[in-house]
């Protein structure tokens, strides 16, 4: 078995209200060292074998089901 990680983040130019909300709360809780926060989604996909055809399929899954290509970017990687 292998695990493929798909990380989906808002595009840099897109407003990230969730990230802004977290960032806004930090000073009230006494946290001072974080200058920016962005929030996205993480998917762990279990596959039998992380070969080329499976990775190609996961790319398609990420593009069509896990992310909105208009406002989000995604990365695909195999986790050891």
Candidates 13, 36, 70, 80: give the one binding a copy of itself (CB under 8 A): 36
47 lies in the binding site for a copy of itself (CB under 8 A): yes
H or E element, residue 4: strand 2-10
Per CB under 8 A, the list member of 13, 15, 17, 33 interacting with a copy of itself is 33
Q: Total residues at the site for a copy of itself (CB under 8 A)?
A: 36
Q: Is 42 in the site for a copy of itself (CB under 8 A)?
A: yes
């Amino acid at each position: 078995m292998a695990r493929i990680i798909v990380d989906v983040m808002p595009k840099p130019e897109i407003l990230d209200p969730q990230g802004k909300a977290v960032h806004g709360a930090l000073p009230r809780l006494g946290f001072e060292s974080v200058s920016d926060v962005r929030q996205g989604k993480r998917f762990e996909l279990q596959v039998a074998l992380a070969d080329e055809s499976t990775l190609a399929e996961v790319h398609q899954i990420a593009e069509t089901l896990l992310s909105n290509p208009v406002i989000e970017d995604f990365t695909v990687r195999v986790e050891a």
